[in-house]
Every structure is written in C-alpha cells, then in structure tokens.
A and B are shown apart, each in its own frame.
Chain A
Amino acid sequence: MSERASVPPEAADAEAETAEAETEKREPDEDKSVVESGAEAVVAALEAAGVEYLFGVQGGAIMPVYDALYRSDELNHVTMAHEQGAAHAADAYGIVTGDPGICMATSGPGATNLVTGLADASMDSDPVVALTGQVPTEFVGNDAFQETDTIGVTKPVTKHNIFADDSDDVGEDVGTAWALANEGRQGPTLVDLPKDVTQGETDRQPEEPKTPDTYNPPVEAEEVMVEAAAEALAGADRPIILAGGGVIKGEACDELRQFAREYEIPVITTMPGTGAFPEDDPLSMGIAGMHGTGYANLAVSNTDLLVGVGTRFDDRLTGDIETFAPDAELVHIDIDPAEISKNVFADYPLVGDAKHVIRQLDDAMPGAPDCDEWHETCQRWKEEYPLDYETPEDDPLKPQYVVETYDELTPEDTIVAAGVGQHQMWAWQYWTWTEPRTWVTSHGLGTMGYAVPAAIGAKLAAPDREVVAFDGDGSFLMTGQELSVAVRENLNITIVVLNNEAVGMVRQWQDGFYEGRRMASEYPWIPEFDKLAEAYGAQGLRLEDYDEVEETIQTARNYEGPSVIDAIIDPSENVYPMVPSGGDNARFALNEQHLEDI
C-alpha cells in the first residue's frame, strides 16, 4: 500500500530493496526533533510518517503549525491559491504515490474550503490527511472569529476525524490520522488543531503512525468461501473480471494481471480502476459504465459470473440495478465489508485485501473456465462497437483527436489529470491506459475544477514523469488560479483546455433530455485561456486546426514550466456511447437517435 508509484512498476523489485534504506532515512534526526510544543509535535509526527510535501494556505489559527514548519528541513510546503486546490493537490499526490497526501488550512473558511476536496477523496477512497487550525479551546462553541465546527462539518466526508484536545497527545493524533488514511480502505482523515493546543508545551516525541487498536482491517478472505468462488468461476461459461480502484489502491495489479491471463478471463475496468489492466492486452474489454465502451457494457450485461475486485458498484457503473449483470453470480472481493451486497448482492463475498484474496483464489482454482465461445463473442463485440470518430479537415477540431495525439507523443507512464465533464470522458475513452496510477481524476464526487491542482500534486509526487491535465473551459474557470502555483514551483506540466465555450456535459443532457433548452450551460463570453496563462507567467498556446495539433503539443512539452493549450473544439461534439442515468447498460446509445429510441 505504501509502495511508491513514482517509479514504473517494472522497477518495483528494485524499489523493494531500497525500501529498508528509505525507512532508515526517514528516522527523525534526534538532535533537531526535540519537541517543545504541540505544533512541533505535529511537525515531528509528519516527519516520522515520512511526509515530504504539504499543500496548504496560511491563516490565523494554523500559524503555530506553520511556525514550527519553518524549522523543518524534511517537509516542503507548497502554498496554494485556495484551500480547495490544496485538498485536490494532496489527493492527486496520494493517488500517484499511494501514500497519504497532506493538506493544511486555517480555521473557519480555510477548513470549509477544504470540504469539497475531502468529500472527493472520501468518494474515491484516496488517502488524504487534512490539518486544520481551530480557535483556542476556550473559545470553541462561542462563535469566535473564524470559528467553524470543523469536526461536525467534515464528519460525513472523512473516514475519521479527531479534535486534538491535549498538547501531549496532538502528535499521536496526527500519526493516527495518517495511519487511518493509509491502512485498510484508504480515505481522508482530519485533525482539528486548536491554537492553544498547538502553542501549548509538550516534550512528547511522536512515534511511528499507528491505527487505534479497534481498527483491524481484514486481510485474508474466508477459505471456504474462496473455494466456493473458485469452483463457480472455473465452471462459468461467460466470466468477466471487473477491476475497480481497490485493485490499484491495494497494489494488486500484478496479481490481477497474472490471474486473468492464467485463466484467460476478460477484464473490464471501472473509471477508478483504469490502468489496473492494460488496455492493449487482448483480454482487455475496456471501460464500463455510463460512458464506457459498448463492448464492455455488453460483456458486463451478458456475463454469467462477475468477479468484482475493489469496486463499490456505483450507479454510474451499474445503471439500473435491476438490469445490471442480471444473469451473473457475483464474486465480490473487497476490503470493506460494508461494500458487500450494498448495491448488488454478492453470491460469494470475499472480504479481504485484494492482493491476498486474488492469490487465495488462484490457489483454490481447480482449472480454467472453458469459454472459447465467450472469447469469440467478446472479440466480435470489440469489432462491432469500436470507439471511433471522423476528422473532417474543414470542420472544427475533434477533442478525441487531441487526446489520441497527445497519447501517441508521450511515454507509457505519463500521468493524465482531468476535471469533470465531457473533456474527462474523452480523455478516459481515447487515451490507451496501460499502467496504474496514471489516471488522476475525480470519480465519485464529480468535482469540476479538479484538474489544475491535481496536476500540481501529481507532478510533485512524480517529478520524473510527464504530467498532462485535460480540462474543460468550465472546470478551468473554477480553479485556474492554481496555475500561479505551478508557475511559482516551475512545474513542467501541460494543461489542455478542451474549449467548447459551454458546460458541455450539461449542454449534452439538455439537448438529450430537456428538449434543447440550454439554460445556464453556454458561456456568452469566456476568457482567452492562452492569454490568461501568460498573465499568470505560464506559456499560453492556442490550438484551432488539425495540422497544428502535434506541433502545439510538442511546443508545450518542450517548454520549461507550465503551459496551457487553449484548444478550440467542435462545440457540437457529444460523448457516446451513453447509458442514460438509471438505464440498462446493454441498451447504450451510440447517437442521439438511439437516445430517443431507448
């Protein structure tokens, strides 16, 4: 779980060998880390956890912690433009490295501005630790300046949160929050830090992060159930593996790939599971769900045995639950027992860590399922329902072409961030995903504005890898100010704004389901993003024609520092295939006429 993903998976073995040395490096330096205050204990706890980067915004109640950071050589603080940006940058850092990303904010508005980012991390099980300042304990509850009930506000959007009430314990509180964010099903945690607690005296040196004794996530699944599941799978005629985000978070990609290939079982990935299985593998059936491929949605609808790994069967994946994989027995592997039979009944619940449970299942398999006919059917669907588009030279630029060209020009381990909307779906559909931890976006919460701060967090997490963010014009307008941070940090990232001068996905729904009444979805005027980028100190590029695509991308890639490509795309382009909300996956629409017919 804590394996660093900033190196390609092939280097994982070498990584493991150096892990011990790294642990030694992380040991706090005895001389420098003599703790004298609660704030210093917070900093020492972060150092003990091996934290390298913090993303935050200063403010009154958190000042003691920042003051303690001033003296830390090991922690690098990145000042963001807005706390939402800090939370998203930390989230992306967590996705790319696998370790918790840390964000900081002051009390009141600082804390409430983090909430969107925490809710996002909560939905996607991303490891994030938030540290928030709070008014001194004696003022709590009195509506003091910049006071908010941060614990109350963030309870529903965190895995756990802690109100620090003692300078002696605050270091341990931070360690607990870090460990809880990291272990079991990952997720966001928060420690609320009253100013008197961080200013208060303590000489308590924080230890290694540790989860509370009541927290013991399951590792191995029940053996009897594993055997029953293996037998069902070996006897299946039309099996499918559905790989979710838990495969990547549980570092189980190698096991999953090996398992699928050994027993020749086709693999579909969910949006957070993208990259868990390489899409150029013949067994890959691509991506499923509302805007998944036709062949994936046909396969998931017609399977007779579905192995769901680390997926929570979100409604964007299942569509109408009554028609979701209705002929299939479900083998559900998940570390969180509360996901079992939550949305879809699990015939074979395998509660445990994905890496271990896949190995258990492998050991229990009596043989491979006999399903040649099913493989042929799957291949036929792939041929019959390809993702395709036309590129008429005299028409406006197709966004799909920009995505595909970028993919062709960049290395396999390139990290792709995205906001939320049509641009996100095109990036997801037309990029060929082969590696985990390369697709960094907002899945469950659907947070517009995720891309720019996420690209910053991703680049700092993996400085040696290329980072591109695909963004929409609407998404960019929400958090574009974080570009100032990318310029200040001189990060080599490219932001491609697929600009259709509209909140395109809403516009698409209005055309499809609201008889074309385009209420509040089109922008009568928006900034020129290339010029806006220049104002921030970034390189600004404008892209309008097919014959400029490759050259513009290369100009951006070769630039030392951040670039923004304002790509003016065909405003009438829509995202297909599409399963309408709550629809039957097998009856996906391939065009507007289909939408009317189903």
Chain B
Amino acid sequence: MTQGELPGAHPDERQMPEGRRNKQGIRIDPEVEAEHPPERAVLSALVKHEPGVLAEVSGLFSRRMFNIESLTVGRTIDERLARMTIVIEEPRPGIDQAKKQLEKLVPVVSVRELADDAVQRELVILKVNGDEPDKVNAITQMYNGETLDAGSRTITVELAGDEGEIDDAIEAYEQFGIRELVRTGYAALARGAEPTAKVTYPNKAPTDAAVETQEAMDD
C-alpha cells in the first residue's frame, strides 16, 4: 500500500519542452550531436611559495577527476611565488572548469592557459646498457643530449625537448636496452614579450611580479 498520491496529469499528458542539452549542459539542436573531444592544454599557475600548495592543487585535480598529464613546480624570481606548469587532457568545458577551480584556491595567485605556440620543454634522464658506447653517443648527439655518467655497464644521458622529440629519442635508445628513465613533465612559458603570469581574472589582485613583468613589457 503506497500513499501520498497527488492530483494531476499523467507524465505522458503534460506540456513538454522540445529542446535538449548535451552532457555538458549546452543546448543543442536535437538533430546534431554536439561532441567535445578531449584536447591538450597547458596551464601555468603562479602560486604562493608555501607548504601544502602542491597537495592542494594535486588534490583538486584528483578530486574533480581532471585528467592530468604532468605537473611541475619550481621557484620564480619572486621568492614568495612558485610557478606550476600543468598539462591536462580534457574536453574544452573541462579545461575551462579546471582553470576556474584552480583560480579559486586561496594560495593561487593567477592561472593562465598557454597558447599552442608557447615555449614548452620536458627533460628526460635515461640510463641504458653501456655495451655500445659509440652508438649511444651518436644518438645523444643527434638529439642534442648530454652524457651525464658513463661506465662500463651503463650510460646515463639527459635530453630536453617537446613531447614528440622525447618520445622519438626514447624509441631510438630502446635498441640498447633502457634500464631506467625519469621524465620531468612540461615546463613552459608564453612565447615572445607576452608575460606568462598575466593576471587574467579581476578577482585576483596583480602581484608585484606580474606588475613588474607588465611594466617591463610596456617598456
């Protein structure tokens, strides 16, 4: 026996809207399926250089299920600030949302998505078997790398480049047998005179660093 029945028309007999939204809540023409394929975005964030910020940022990305490719963090010329470079792969609405959520964190000073032409580099250090030193050296030179350590059993080299170059180099070294490798993830800055740390959102006051950079650019 179930009670609480209310008066009113059956669900099939009510006025219904004609439109529809997609999963991202965007209104669409019912005839056209709007799809947002995942794309890669490089976010550069200036954050306060203090304990717990990295945990706060990485926690945010995992908690909200943003697909993170790499995250690097290091000091800047302003000792109070650190810069994070975060590479994510998400549909466009997800990228926009990640930027806004990042902006909300109190220790985050500014967030910017870098353009495709941004200067982007990744460092890899890899250790290969030392049986064929000449061949290893040739490949290291070909990729403008540097030998960091060479012994009778292993050779350790470093390479920097974009993701494609690094992938190609790693493939080239595979013939010797790669014992271990480490990749840093991307570090990136905006190309040209444009400051990477441009404060884009009005709810964040420009930092000294950003103002100085802006002034330098204006000169």
Contact = CB atoms under 8 A, between A and B. Distances in A.
Given A163-B52, A594-B11, A214 B205 contact: yes
Nearest to A570: B3
B62 to A, nearest CB: 10
A511 B4 CA distance: 14
B24 interface: yes
A335 B9 CA distance: 39
A548 interface: no
Interface residues of B, number: 50
Residues of A in contact with B, size category: 35 or more
B8 A216 contact: no
A21 to B, nearest CB: 33
B1 A572 contact: yes
23 contacts: A151-B52, A213-B205, A214-B48, A214-B107, A216-B202, A301-B16, A301-B17, A322-B20, A337-B100, A338-B97, A338-B103, A343-B25, A345-B21, A384-B9, A385-B8, A386-B6, A387-B6, A388-B6, A576-B6, A586-B15, A587-B11, A589-B11, A592-B5
Nearest to A184: B203
Nearest to A300: B17
Nearest to B27: A326
A322 B11 contact: no
Interface in A567-598: 570, 572-577, 586-592, 594, 597-598
Interface string B62-106: 010000000000000000000000000000010011001101101
B152 interface: no
Interface stretch (A27-35, A152-160, A251-259, A360-368): A152-160
Interface in B187-213: 201-205, 207
B10 interface: yes
B6 A574 contact: no
A571 B107 CA distance: 51
Contacts of A324: 21, 25
A341 interface: yes
A212 interface: yes
B55 interface: yes
A336 interface: yes
A372 interface: no
A590 B17 contact: no
A590 B5 contact: yes
A214 B109 contact: yes
Most buried by A among B3, B51, B109, B202: B3
A572 B101 CA distance: 44
B25 A216 contact: no
Contacts of B10: 594, 597
A463 interface: no
Nearest first, the 3 A-B pairs at minimum CB distance are A326-B19, A344-B25, A591-B5
B52 A212 contact: no
A377 to B, nearest CB: 8
A216 B204 contact: yes
A105 B187 CA distance: 42
A587 B8 CA distance: 11
A107 B140 CA distance: 55
A422 to B, nearest CB: 9
A591 B2 contact: yes
Interface in A338-374: 338, 340-345
Nearest to B110: A214
Interface string B100-120: 110110111100000000000
Contacts of B17: 301-302, 323, 325-327, 586
B57 to A, nearest CB: 11
A85 interface: no
A323 B108 contact: no
Contacts of B59: 155-156
B7 interface: yes
A217 B1 CA distance: 53
A378 to B, nearest CB: 11
A389 interface: yes
Nearest to A295: B8
A215 B1 CA distance: 56
A217 B21 contact: no
A337 B101 CA distance: 9
B24 A214 contact: no
Most buried by B among A159, A180, A322, A511: A322
A18 to B, nearest CB: 32
A328 B2 CA distance: 36
B153 interface: no
A386 B21 contact: no
A218 interface: yes
A216 B24 contact: no
B96 to A, nearest CB: 7
B39 interface: no
A298 B101 contact: no
A302 B17 CA distance: 5
Contacts of B103: 337-338
B32 interface: no
Contact of B14 (A313, A337, A587): A587
A225 interface: no
Contacts of A50: none
A294 interface: yes
A16 B21 CA distance: 45
B28 to A, nearest CB: 9
A77 B14 CA distance: 55
B25 A597 contact: no
Contacts of A388: 6-7
Contacts of A577: 6, 8
Interface string A536-561: 00000000000000000000000000
A574 B21 contact: no
B219 interface: no
A7 interface: no
